[in-house]
Structure 1
Amino acid sequence: MIKASADALVLGAGPGALAIAAALSSENLKVEVLANSDPHEPWPYTYGIWGEEVDDLGLAHLLEHRWKNTVSFFGEGADNPSSKSNIPTPHNRDYGLFDKNKLQHHWLSQCELAKVQWHKGLAQKLDINETESRVTTEEGKTITARLVVDATGYDPVFLKSSESGPVAVQTCYGIVAKFNKPPIAENQFILMDYRCDHLSEKEKSEPPTFLYAMDMGEGSFFLEETSLGLAPPVSIETLRTRLELRLANKDIRITKLEHEELGLFLPMNLPIPDLKQPVLGFGGAAGMVHPASGYMVGGMLRRAPGLAKAIAKKIRDSEASPAQIAQCGWAELWPEDLIRKQALYKFGLEKLMRFSEPQLREFFKGFFDLPSSQWYGFLTNTLTIKELVSAMWKMFVKAPWSVRIGLMGMQGREIKLLWEFMKPKIKN
């Protein structure tokens, strides 16, 4: 049998690539990484996680900030601060923000301890036979491995999908700044602020957006105007304008702009890749983003070790082909229950994409009125199928008729997604 140069070759240098490279190297596999960028290059975006989630992982030391005063606002808003429209919905759960550098170093240090080999270049061609996978870069360099893991993000290099359709994209525009007066309460984290009294009637009829905000300490605040997944997405220009209107409505002005996130485009309902292909995926490339929340980092941290362990066991079978190793990985990454839950989450997203601003506010009021364990498990994808269905049914029963009508209407891909939930296509 031909001996490949590595057990696993990971493509990419972002969070997904480093997470799986670190996990595989921790299984004493020979791991190599190919990326067009330096894996030490700072990441541009912020990553949040619920406190309980990071505590369960034993990684609270990687947080830069942690808030206990976590709230949302689902009222319409009014000039009177004591108005019911301005009463916050408390979440009574800690929320944390990763220190991006610490999180990156957490994975890099594991890779460096295991002597992971780094290659710079852009993967262009993939050839797979019964004994090895061969990747050729644009520069003509060839790297061989028993398994290739494509972790190159939402537009993967080699992974293919058997499905197509419009992609719902979550868009965000954010700033870190100091202001003439605090835009939110001291030591507060706001998951969603849907108050809309700063908008005209015409703007209220357009796709809704909300404020995601946090007190960063020392007079700095992070504010991000965000749209849930939509197709086509809300433009960055619209989000920037809405954030400016939101601040102007409270006579809040920026005195020092410290950082600007020019826009995050997060695909929310990407299809699960074709699970028969002989190359494995991880992270955004493998459709792991939570369609209802956009969260993924917590899921990658939880699932990378188990996936790596399954892959390592198969790789130690010297007769296993690259295709068989990949199939083992896909079976671990996308078991039937997760495929079914993903279809149900996408079904819910299809509903929310058509909700008006008043419907969304009423929906989220009811959602966060569920028992804390239910809405938390929903957002972190840690409920069983039975628990998930129970939470969604309870939400429907408690919802006002304006929301129920929106939930009952069947349009677009909803019937297909319900069928996928009932009868998932298990391709591995």
Structure 2
Amino acid sequence: MKINTPMDVLVLGSGPGALAIASALGQENLNVSVLSKNDPNEPWPYTYGIWGEEVDELGLSNLLKYRWSKTVSFLGEGSTKDSSTKNKATPHNRDYGLFDKEKLQSYWLDLCQQSSVKWNKGEATALEISKSNSIVTTSNGEKHIAKLIIDATGYKSVFLERPNHGEIAVQTCYGIVGEFSEAPLEKDQFILMDYRSNHLTAKEKEEPPTFLYAMDFGDGKFFLEETSLGLSPPVELSTLKSRLITRLKHRNIQIKKVDHEELGVFLPMNIPIPNLNQSILGFGGSAGMVHPASGYLVGGLLRRAPHLAKELAIALRNKSNTPSDIAKIGWETLWPKNLRRKQALYHFGLEKLMRFEEIQLRDFFTCFFSLPNKQWYGFLTNTLTVNELINAMWSMFKKAPLNVKWGLLEMKGREIRLLWRFVKPGI
């Protein structure tokens, strides 16, 4: 049986969340090791978007592969049946970017290398925690000892415990990068949401709505992704693929070449925050850090990892702290009461949108993007304070047409419990 050198922190995982927190901890001059069944250099399968202002404020705009200033949505005609709005674009007047996945991964890996983060390959299967340290055992019997364990293995985390709040809303997407018989969107354009549905039959319009997320890559290449905002049960990938093809056929556009197929992004949108009294810590998707309203994650990782690492470094240098003490400080830093309250509001909003019919969704987003630019941007990036978030939601409600107001007021399921978690976020 191999027993590895004791470390300050052992991070489980090798995705964005794991690399973000491992690199930040390494920069605090802590002894950090990473354990994963995958190689940390293994390419990531999915694309990651971010608003231009977010990445500029972080000083990391060089990590973008693409950036668009012509950013719009198409919300189609809503309950007003105003045909003049059917093909009218809603401008967002904000830059949007797509990360260069290799550069983003290399950025974190380089920081890890600078601080001598150690890499271990293996599958964690057992966990023991005492007053002095934590021990993770792998499937081949290796033991890894650390003062603190951080589980960053994603939504199906290895060791983290979380409450059961019922059904999980899942965002599903089917996307392709390729060439087409003609341009499916304007030159240098990014489409956040295209909810137009005149390509669907009346029966299909009664099914859960989906939208197109699309961008011009230049040189005749485009990325098109049919997306379901978040549902339980989720929209099937076969349905999304069929809808994307139907959308293109309606416009007499043929797919000439597929360079890449993005198959099945199953993104849990309202995964509960883990139990905050456990003796290990989480980070990334495993810690419930996905934005419930937008599905964004990477911006939050980049903003929050350095602050969490600083607080953990202080806790780890206090030799009287047990693993449970350090984890508690970590959870309090990662999920303070104000962030838990905001998360409850976001979950409440998603619960409503899951039940909205197509016309209600169109009307909702039409009102949402008519809010002051800073309000809807802050909502989507989770950068508003609690009071600012409440003001944004109240402004949205006042502007909304009656069908949306009624949908927001009607209580059909978990809304009361979600609002109670806003009032009393617990521990």
Q: Name the TM-score class by shorter chain.
A: over 0.9
Mapped pair 1:145 → 2:177? no
Which residue does the alignment assign to 2:219?
218
Root mean square deviation of aligned Cα: 1.1
* C-alpha distance after superposition, 1:126-170 (max 9, x if no partner): 000001000000010000000000000000000001333111000
- 1:4 Cα offset (Å): 6.8
Letter paired with 1:315: L
Which residue does the alignment assign to 1:36?
37
Q: Scaled by the length of structure 2, what TM-score is found?
A: 0.97
Which residue does the alignment assign to 2:365?
364
CA contact (8 A) 2:65 2:100 kept: yes
CA contact (8 A) 2:352 2:407 kept: yes
1:338 and 1:4, CA in 2 relative to 1: closer, same or farther beyond 3 A? Answer: farther
- Give the secondary-structure state (helix, strand or coil) at the position aligned to 1:264: coil
Which structure 2 residue ranges, 5 or more long, are not aligned? none
Mapped pair 1:127 → 2:128? yes
Mapped pair 1:387 → 2:388? yes
* C-alpha distance after superposition, 1:11-65 (max 9, x if no partner): 0000000000000000000000000000000000000000000000000000000
- 1:410 Cα offset (Å): 0.6
* C-alpha distance after superposition, 1:259-312 (max 9, x if no partner): 001110000000000000000000000001111110111011000000000000
Which residue does the alignment assign to 2:71?
70
- 1:242 Cα offset (Å): 0.3
Which residue does the alignment assign to 2:315?
314
Q: How do 1:59-208 residues align onto structure 2 when only pairs under 5 Å count?
A: 59-76=60-77, 83-208=84-209
- 1:237 Cα offset (Å): 0.3
Mapped pair 1:334 → 2:314? no
CA contact (8 A) 2:76 2:195 kept: yes
Letter paired with 2:66: H
Which structure 1 residue ranges, 5 or more long, are not aligned? none
* C-alpha distance after superposition, 1:172-205 (max 9, x if no partner): 0000010010000000000000000000000000
Mapped pair 1:233 → 2:238? no
- Give the secondary-structure state (helix, strand or coil) at the position aligned to 2:264: strand
CA contact (8 A) 1:177 1:259 kept: yes
Query: What count of residue pairs does the alignment treat as equivalent?
Result: 420
Q: How do 1:338-349 residues align onto structure 2 when only pairs under 5 Å count?
A: 338-349=339-350
Separation in 2 of the partners of 1:99 and 1:306? 24
* C-alpha distance after superposition, 1:349-379 (max 9, x if no partner): 0000000001000100000000000000000
Separation in 2 of the partners of 1:74 and 1:84? 8
Letter paired with 1:209: T
* C-alpha distance after superposition, 1:191-242 (max 9, x if no partner): 0000000000000000000000000111000000000110000000000000
Separation in 2 of the partners of 1:420 and 1:319? 33
Separation in 1 of the partners of 2:342 and 2:164? 17
CA contact (8 A) 2:75 2:89 kept: yes
Separation in 1 of the partners of 2:35 and 2:201? 50
Which residue does the alignment assign to 2:414?
413
Which residue does the alignment assign to 2:49?
48
Q: Scaled by the length of structure 1, what TM-score is found?
A: 0.97
CA contact (8 A) 1:4 1:132 kept: no
CA contact (8 A) 1:174 1:261 kept: yes
CA contact (8 A) 2:21 2:305 kept: yes
- Give the secondary-structure state (helix, strand or coil) at the position aligned to 2:296: coil
- 1:411 Cα offset (Å): 1.5
Q: Kindly report structure 1 stretches of 4+ aligned residues shifted beyond 6 Å.
A: none
Separation in 2 of the partners of 1:37 and 1:363? 41
Letter paired with 2:10: L
CA contact (8 A) 1:23 1:308 kept: yes
Which residue does the alignment assign to 2:18?
17
Which residue does the alignment assign to 2:267?
266
* C-alpha distance after superposition, 1:47-87 (max 9, x if no partner): 0000000000000000000000000000149xxxx943101
- 1:318 Cα offset (Å): 1.1
- Give the secondary-structure state (helix, strand or coil) at the position aligned to 2:266: strand
CA contact (8 A) 1:76 1:197 kept: no
Aligned identity (percent) is: 63
